[in-house]
Amino acid sequence: MTKLDAIVVGAGFAGLYMLHRLRQRGLSVQVLEQGGDVGGTWYWNRYPGARCDNESLGYSVSFLPELDQEWSWPERYSEQPVILRYINRIADELDLRRDIRFNTRVESARFDGSENLWQVDTDNGERLQARFVIMATGCLSVPNWPDIKGREDFAGDTLHTALWPHEGYDFTGKKVAVIGTGSTAIQSIPHIAGQAGKLTVFQRTANHCVPAQNGPLDPVVERERKAHYPEMRERARYTRSGDVVPQGEITIMDLDDEALEVVLQDCWDQGGFYTQYPFADQMTDPQANARVTAFSHQHIRSRVKDPATAELLCARDHPFGTKRLCADTGYFETYNLDHVHLVDLNTTPIEAVEARGIRTSDAMFDVDVIIYATGFDAMTGALTRIEITGRDGLVLRDKWDHGTRSLLGVSVAGFPNLFTVTGPGSPSVMINVVAAIEQHVEWIDACIGWLGEQGAASIEASPDAENAWVEHVNATADATLFPKANSWYMGANIPGKARVFMPYVGGLGPYRHHCDKVAADGYPGFVVTGKQGGPA
């Protein structure tokens, strides 16, 4: 049996950086990755139009300064193949592949307290042992297949955006159905419409959108960033969003309608998540939020010719930004095309998928291909699908049955020496996720180093500190409008999943300060046990 210092699960941004850090520390590390190559999210999500809604200059790693200078991002927001190339470059640059086993899914991880070791079993029938297990499994890595009657009966092609065929898919002349209108659908629908003979979009809930305003990266902006990359990266580490953008400087309710219109138009012109950060009250004051919503609805009405379709595309059931904002490029205009139709599932729900297509309560839609753009079992799915057994037979899935519990989103009481990168209770998906990943990886690496210096055997969250952190995460979310949406942040997209607001909305900077203080103070709130090599 292979015995290691650490096993890292996942070879996306998080797993690669974790491997690099622990190797630098001199540890023996094995990364296990279910995909055929590196990339994580960017390996799987190859649907047409897939690109990152975070700007490329920020959505990139800070630990390869030479690469920062050499690499040229062609567009403001990079498309999936470019990001995947970039991740491959990181793997090559640091010679990471030799410690990664691809096409290997972790089925279970069990803590053995007598030896203070984790036993990890893979779907290849192999068992590995390690002192530390680091779950770098991503927040959006388990596709959600909706439980629609007859789904298996469809005679045409079935696709899920998160499991897109590597060879692509030719929609030319085909009758296509897309189920879902989240970020993924909003990115892919204009591209699919460009090929399809007929496209029908099945919408249950409209989502709030901002224009991406993508385009070739401005060479002046690129030059400027390259001249100041280290300072910008350092600043980004302490902002709330993990990006260098305006943060909370404008109070919407201080502005009259005319002034607000000017500010919001500027946001819409800047595009992307620019809209999310300059305001102090957008995410806390329902009235302020409603004014942004009204502005965004005006925009939709100005872009969609059919008034009834425009109204259906206006999100009304949740405050602006309380579900992950979508960034659109030509999404709304797509509904002006004669061969594109929107079906409102609120008035005419899907009753079944049949061999020839989708039957709603009032019509049958014959299609050649159904695309499920139905999202993910987010934040917990990849962790709860693995049988993770900690102390005294405690299974993580059971522990989280009534809601996620974790200290800092990085350590769970009852699971010694198990770390979760961007786990529930950390900023993760609320911010630039690469920045979130780097903060976690560096903290975990330092923690492992500290344990070595202490000669300690194990570390895990104490139940009291875990409870206190969960309360803080909830209180922070409850001070905002976020819990008002039935979002995947709340687990609301998965039937039967506990409804708790999972990410931490306190912002990266404050969170980093807190985590750094915990480390500097000798990890209060954590139980540190035993001597290395002995029982925990």
Measured from the CB atom, the residue of 272 and 390 that comes closer to ligand NAP is 272
Alpha-carbon radius of gyration of the chain: 23
Indicate the helix (H) or strand (E) that contains 439. helix 433-454
Measured from the CB atom, the residue of 357 and 375 that comes closer to ligand NAP is 375
- The count of residues interacting with ligand NAP (CB under 6 A) is 24
Measured from the CB atom, the residue of 322 and 420 that comes closer to ligand NAP is 322
Q: Dihedral sign, CA of 505, 517, 434, 37? A: negative
Residue 423 C-beta: closest distance to ligand NAP, Å: 16
Site for ligand NAP in 197-236 (CB under 6 A): 204-205
The values of phi and psi at residue 526, to 5°, are -110, 145
Q: Would strands 157-160 and 369-372 be described as parallel, antiparallel, or unpaired?
A: parallel
Residue 161 C-beta: closest distance to ligand NAP, Å: 6
Contact flag: residue 181 with ligand NAP (CB under 6 A): yes
Spell out the residues 6+ positions from residue 98 whose beta carbon is closer than 8 angstroms to its own: none
Task: Calculate the alpha carbon distances from 199 to 85, 175, 366, 414 in Å.
Answer: 31, 6, 11, 50
Pairwise CA distance, residues 15 & 434, whole Å: 12
Of the residues 113, 146, 246, 452, which one makes contact with ligand NAP according to CB under 6 A: 146
Q: Which two tokens stand for residue 166?
A: 């590597």
> Do residues 315 and 227 touch, judged by C-beta distance below 8 A?
no
Site for ligand NAP in 333-362 (CB under 6 A): 345
Of the residues 91, 96, 288, 373, which one makes contact with ligand NAP according to CB under 6 A: 373
The DSSP bridge partners found for residue 101 are: 32
Of the residues 182, 272, 319, 427, which one makes contact with ligand NAP according to CB under 6 A: 182
Contact flag: residue 148 with ligand NAP (CB under 6 A): yes
Measured from the CB atom, the residue of 47 and 469 that comes closer to ligand NAP is 47
> Do residues 77 and 2 touch, judged by C-beta distance below 8 A?
no
Q: Dihedral sign, CA of 416, 419, 424, 426? A: positive
Measured from the CB atom, the residue of 25 and 341 that comes closer to ligand NAP is 341
Of the residues 21, 225, 324, 497, which one makes contact with ligand NAP according to CB under 6 A: 324
In the bound state, the residue with its beta carbon closest to ligand NAP is 182
Indicate the helix (H) or strand (E) that contains 310. helix 307-313
Measured from the CB atom, the residue of 128 and 373 that comes closer to ligand NAP is 373
Binding segment toward ligand NAP, per CB under 6 A, in 28-36, 216-224, 367-375, 439-447:
367-375
Site for ligand NAP in 27-46 (CB under 6 A): none
Binding segment toward ligand NAP, per CB under 6 A, in 16-24, 183-191, 305-313, 359-367:
183-191
Binding segment toward ligand NAP, per CB under 6 A, in 11-19, 178-186, 287-295, 353-361:
178-186
Contact flag: residue 177 with ligand NAP (CB under 6 A): no
> Do residues 109 and 389 touch, judged by C-beta distance below 8 A?
yes
Residue 195 C-beta: closest distance to ligand NAP, Å: 20
Q: Which two tokens stand for residue 85?
A: 């190339």
Q: Would strands 369-372 and 326-328 be described as parallel, antiparallel, or unpaired?
A: unpaired
Measured from the CB atom, the residue of 415 and 489 that comes closer to ligand NAP is 489
| 3-state secondary structure (DSSP) of residue 266 | helix
Contact flag: residue 420 with ligand NAP (CB under 6 A): no
Measured from the CB atom, the residue of 41 and 411 that comes closer to ligand NAP is 41
The values of phi and psi at residue 493, to 5°, are -85, -5
Binding segment toward ligand NAP, per CB under 6 A, in 32-40, 84-92, 149-157, 368-376:
368-376
Contact flag: residue 58 with ligand NAP (CB under 6 A): no
Site track for ligand NAP across 486-505, x = CB under 6 A: --x----x------------
- The one-letter code for the residue type at 92 is D
Contact flag: residue 53 with ligand NAP (CB under 6 A): yes
> Do residues 22 and 448 touch, judged by C-beta distance below 8 A?
yes
Q: What is the 3-state secondary structure (H, E, C) of 519-533?
A: HHCCCCCEEEEEECC
Pairwise CA distance, residues 179 & 194, whole Å: 17
Pairwise CA distance, residues 291 & 282, whole Å: 9
The closest of 117, 3, 130 to 536, measured between CA atoms, is 117
Binding segment toward ligand NAP, per CB under 6 A, in 17-25, 86-94, 373-381, 443-451:
373-381
Of the residues 48, 180, 271, 425, which one makes contact with ligand NAP according to CB under 6 A: 180
Binding residues (CB under 6 A) for ligand NAP: these are 52-53, 140, 146, 148, 179-185, 187, 204-205, 324, 345, 373-376, 429, 488, 493
